[in-house]
A and B are shown apart, each in its own frame.
Chain A
Amino acid sequence: MRSPKPPALATWILEHVTPRGKNEALTGDLLEEFGQRRSVAWYWRQVLGAVVVSLSGEMRAHWVGLSVELGLAWVWTYYSFFHLIPLLPEQVVGDSVRAASQGLVVAFNGSPRGFDPCSRSTHNLSGNGRV
Chain B
Amino acid sequence: VIARTSTPNFSLQLVHFFTIIEHMRTRASLGEFELMVILALLRVGENAYGVPIAREIEASTGREVGLGSVYAALERLERKALVSSTVGEPTPERGGRAKRYFQVTGPGLRQIRRTRRTLVALWSDLPQLEGGKA
Chain A residue at smallest Cβ distance from B97:
A28
Say whether B75 faces chain A, with CB atoms less than 8 Å apart.
Answer: yes
Chain B residue at smallest Cβ distance from A29:
B50
Say whether A10 faces chain B, with CB atoms less than 8 Å apart.
Answer: no
Q: Contact check, B94 vs A28: say whether CB atoms are below 8 A apart.
A: yes
Q: For the complex, what is the distance from the CA of A29 to the CA of B68, rounded to whole Å?
A: 10
Q: Mark A54-79, 1 if CB is under 8 A from B, else 0.
A: 10010001111100100000000000
Chain A residue at smallest Cβ distance from B15:
A65
Q: Contact check, A31 vs B71: say whether CB atoms are below 8 A apart.
A: no
Say whether B100 faces chain A, with CB atoms less than 8 Å apart.
Answer: yes
Q: Contact check, A25 vs B98: say whether CB atoms are below 8 A apart.
A: yes
Main SS class of interface, B: helix
Q: Contact check, A33 vs B51: say whether CB atoms are below 8 A apart.
A: yes
Residues of chain A from 2 to 54 with CB closer than 8 A to chain B in the complex: 18, 22, 24-33, 35, 42, 45-46, 49-54
Say whether B69 faces chain A, with CB atoms less than 8 Å apart.
Answer: yes
**How many residue pairs, one in A and one in B, have C-beta atoms under 8 Å apart?**
80
**Which residues of the partner chain A approach B125 to less than 8 Å between Cβ atoms?**
none
Q: Contact check, B100 vs A25: say whether CB atoms are below 8 A apart.
A: yes
Q: For the complex, what is the distance from the CA of A7 to the CA of B99, rounded to whole Å?
A: 21
Q: Closest Cβ of chain B: how far from A60's Cβ, in Å?
A: 9
Q: Contact check, A29 vs B15: say whether CB atoms are below 8 A apart.
A: no
Q: Contact check, B18 vs A68: say whether CB atoms are below 8 A apart.
A: yes
A-B contact pairs, 9 of them (CB 8 A): A22-B71, A25-B97, A28-B98, A32-B51, A42-B64, A46-B66, A50-B68, A57-B72, A61-B22
Enumerate the 6 nearest inter-chain pairs by beta-carbon distance, A residue then B residue, closest first.
A50-B68, A28-B97, A28-B94, A25-B100, A49-B66, A29-B50
Given contacts A25-B98, A28-B99, A53-B69, could you give 11 more A-B pairs where the C-beta distance is less than 8 Å? A28-B90, A28-B95, A28-B97, A29-B67, A29-B99, A31-B95, A31-B97, A53-B66, A54-B72, A65-B22, A68-B18
Q: B interface vs A, CB < 8 Å?
A: 15, 18, 21-22, 49-51, 54, 64, 66-69, 71-72, 75, 87, 90-91, 93-95, 97-100
